[in-house]
Amino acid sequence: MLGEYCELRLPIHYELHWLIAYISLAFVGLFYAIFGYRLWRLTMFITSFSLGTLLLYIILSTQPTMTEPQLIGVSCSIALLFGLINILLQYVGLFINGFTFGLILSIITFIIWDIKHRANGITTSFWLIIGLILMLGLLCAILTLRFQKFMLIITSSCLGGVCHVLVLDYFLQLSILLRFIHKRLLFELTSTLCIRHWIIVFILPIVMLFGIVIQYSCTGKDYDHRDSWHRVISAGKKRYKSANLNKIRRHYEQDTLRKQIIPDESNRFRYLYQIRRANGDALSSDFIQNVRQQSSTVVRMTNNNNNNNNNNNNNPSSINTTGKASTRKDTDSTTTTLTHLI
């Protein structure tokens, strides 16, 4: 069995449905590595859908009454709903993405630990994988919620590397590595793999590094997923034209006339009242006082004219002169008052 495993022989025949599935998986890996953060909602959907389908398939496979097409149909249907929920609920999707990254790290750690124990003749405990999944999964999920952009790029790049490892494992050795990991997770007896089987694993850090560099320098540069989320939420709402407050504030600060009129910011309401008063929006107290003084002057002059008329009744020669003068003064005072009012 060991000689069969270590023999370098490429497969010739591939099954059609698995060939289509792994080619699709290769494109998904490229999407993860290049556009994983830029299209982060689609990334969360694919991750949640794949994880939900896998878990549901494992759980439902224990039912002997269900056939293979029924298992796949039910798993995909429920996982589709699970993926849509993760898109709509942002923090749930981020938590699932982080947990998936922790799940991959826990599986890698378990396989390394298991190989080391098997070489020393020690049986690996069942609770080791459970503890690793809970500890690393929750830790990565919390880190994803805290450092969203950094962890989304790391997670998507790692998932892209895992997808390409699975694709190369199928096309080069018909998924020998995948079957080995699956059996060890179920604690079944397996044969020891050769070095050439594990060389494929080195594609994981290469693709992961490639995805991180591409997303940080190109696709994810000057992009914030939180802004895009707010645009999606407000897409169905009616948009109103709003004032550009930054532009108004910039012109307001650069206005030299404002600095001359309002030198002190603490007295801006007092100077604002003075500006309104100068533009005619408000009447000043001085103007009202002048109108009152002129009105009192008119009344005083009228009383004096009446007294003069009474005194001149005995002197007819001065009646016309005094009447003309008083009429002229009344007209001038009335004209002055109307001019101020206008």
Map residue 169 onto helix, strand or coil. Answer: helix
Whether pLDDT at 139 is above 60: yes
Q: Which residue has the higher pLDDT, 283 or 110?
A: 110
**pLDDT of amino acid 117:** 83
Residue with tokens 């008119």: 298
Please provide residue 167's backbone torsions phi and psi, each rounded to the nearest 5 degrees.
Answer: -65, -50
pLDDT digits (tens, 9 = 90+) for 155-195: 999 999 999 999 999 998 888 889 889 888 888 888 777 88
d(CA 168, CA 196): 12
Which of 46-50, 77-81, 94-98, 190-194 shows the lowest per-residue confidence on average (mean pLDDT)? 190-194
How many CB atoms neighbour CB 258 within 10 A? 14
CB 29 within 8 A of CB 161: yes
Which of 96-100, 168-172, 253-257 shows the lowest per-residue confidence on average (mean pLDDT)? 253-257
Map residue 157 onto helix, strand or coil. Answer: helix
Whether pLDDT at 209 is above 80: yes
CB 141 within 8 A of CB 100: no
Average pLDDT for the chain: 77
**pLDDT of amino acid 323:** 47
Reading phi first (left if > 0) and then psi (alpha if -120 to 50, else beta), residue 8 is in: beta
Q: Sketch the domain layout of the chain as residue ranges.
A: 16-219
Helix (H) / strand (E) containing 262: none
Whether pLDDT at 258 is above 60: no
Q: How far is CA 57 from CA 3, 75, 166, 214, in A?
A: 34, 6, 19, 34
**pLDDT of amino acid 1:** 40
Whether pLDDT at 29 is above 90: yes
How many CB atoms neighbour CB 341 within 10 A? 9
Map residue 187 onto helix, strand or coil. Answer: coil
Q: Which residue has the higher pLDDT, 214 or 278?
A: 214
Confidence of residue 303 (pLDDT cuts 50, 70, 90): confident
**pLDDT of amino acid 135:** 94
**pLDDT of amino acid 229:** 53
**pTM listed for this prediction:** 0.64
- The terminus-to-terminus CA distance of the chain in angstroms comes to 112
Instruction: Give 315: exposed, middle or buried? Use CB within 10 Å, 0-12, 13-18, 19+.
Output: exposed
**pLDDT of amino acid 245:** 66
d(CA 130, CA 138): 12
The tokens describing 48, both together, are: 């949640």
